[in-house]
Amino acid sequence: MSILLHIDASPRGERSVSRQLTHDFASAWKQAHPDGRIIYRDLGHNPVPFVNETWIAAAYSPPDALSPELRAALAISNEFIAELETASEYVFGVPMHNFSVPAAFKAYIDQVVRVGRTFAVDESGYKGLLHSKSATVITSSGGAYRSGSPFAPYNYQEPWIRAILGLIGVTEVEFVVADGLSEVEFGKRDREQYLKPIREQVQRKALAA
């Protein structure tokens, strides 16, 4: 059975463009996989706990040496990692915050990037432990940060996401970009008209998955 992991990181509700687009993706994906299952996580409205000293101690302790306290510290991390392992495809909705990712998404990444669980290190370097996975990352931003834009050097979001997903073994990553949204926010462009070609792109990708 095909399984999609659908994650939203926007703190916004109905006004969120990234949420609208990930839900378009999930709806089209379900059409293409009527017997498939979708796992949904709303990080923007259900914040992930930050990594703390207890978590670090637990992550670097042998599994058979974990106290109840240390085991509890890793419970949400284990749950998130199990979802990544179970799903074969991911769709992430990640708005740009201050040239990078929202704190909620960074907290999620910190929970799932764990040595021995999602990556390993040997004399030749890092080895991702998640295999045969693909990800569609839907980003949104007020400005335009694509290659060729004068603001492109400020886009730390896409290269960081590619690097961190690659670290855990997810190298088949495609981005769908909804940028220049400040004009929509300030009423200079019609939202639905602006989003129409992007929504169609998202739906085509999901149907082909």
Report how far residue 93's alpha carbon sits from residue 87's, in angstroms, rounded to the nearest whole number: 16
Domain that holds residue 159: 3-208
Q: What is the predicted pLDDT for the residue at 78?
A: 98
Residue 149: CB atoms within 10 A of its CB come to: 14
Q: What is the predicted pLDDT for the residue at 26?
A: 98
Kindly state the percentage of the chain with pLDDT values over 90.
94
pLDDT in tens, 69-106: 999 999 999 999 999 999 999 999 999 999 999 999 99
Q: What is the predicted pLDDT for the residue at 83?
A: 98
Q: What is the predicted pLDDT for the residue at 185?
A: 86
The band of 147, judged by pLDDT with boundaries at 50, 70 and 90, is confident
Q: What is the predicted pLDDT for the residue at 1?
A: 87
**Mean pLDDT computed over every residue of the chain:** 96
Over range 177-190, report the average pLDDT.
Answer: 91
Nearest to 86 by CA among 205, 207, 1, 208: 1
Report how far residue 44's alpha carbon sits from residue 31's, in angstroms, rounded to the nearest whole number: 26
* Global confidence as pTM: 0.95
Report how far residue 41's alpha carbon sits from residue 24's, in angstroms, rounded to the nearest whole number: 16
Q: What is the predicted pLDDT for the residue at 59?
A: 97
Kindly state the percentage of the chain with pLDDT values over 70.
100
187: pLDDT strictly greater than 90: no
128: pLDDT strictly greater than 90: yes
Domain count, the chain: 1
The band of 129, judged by pLDDT with boundaries at 50, 70 and 90, is very high
Domain CATH number, residue 179: 3.40.50.360
The band of 184, judged by pLDDT with boundaries at 50, 70 and 90, is confident
Report how far residue 155's alpha carbon sits from residue 99's, in angstroms, rounded to the nearest whole number: 5
